[in-house]
Structure 1
Amino acid sequence: MSEAGAALDSEVARWVSKGYAVEARTESQAILVRKRRIGLFWNVVLSVITSGIWLIVIAYRLINRKADRVVLTLVNGRVQRS
């Protein structure tokens, strides 16, 4: 394995340790994805206060969760993030 490939592997491992998952990978590029978290505490509090009506909002958020994507590209032996 080349030094540049090892640099990309190292960077991918760093992002995976932050909670990202590898969506796609080639020799010179990796696409990582992580779904956004939904805060538990305030959602439970609002559900209790509104007698469960807030559960509609929680269900909508769970269905339409957004994902954070990071693209790591190997350019001239260096890893660039976009």
Structure 2
Amino acid sequence: MKKLGMLPKKPKKATYKPKPYEQMTYPGERVQVDVKVVPRKCIADPEMKLYQYTAIDEYTRIRFLYGYEEQSTYSSADFVKGW
């Protein structure tokens, strides 16, 4: 059926055009925040579990790191207050 052209033709997808990167104009305009689990082999105490909170200012590229023993709303709020 395909060779005979009996199947309906699929409409062409529009080509993907990425948006241009918006350059920041002042410090603090956009900050990226991320949380990662610290691998146990990087911690001296094998029973401890740590979470690394990271914030990066996109204008100045200044990085702020802090570790917490739990990932919770309290830890997140405390991290943002410290930034």
Into which bin does the TM-score normalised by the smaller protein fall? under 0.3
Q: TM-score, normalised by structure 2?
A: 0.25
Hey, which of these two has a bigger chunk of strand by percent?
A: 1
Q: Which has the higher contact order (CA 8 A, sep 6+)?
A: 1
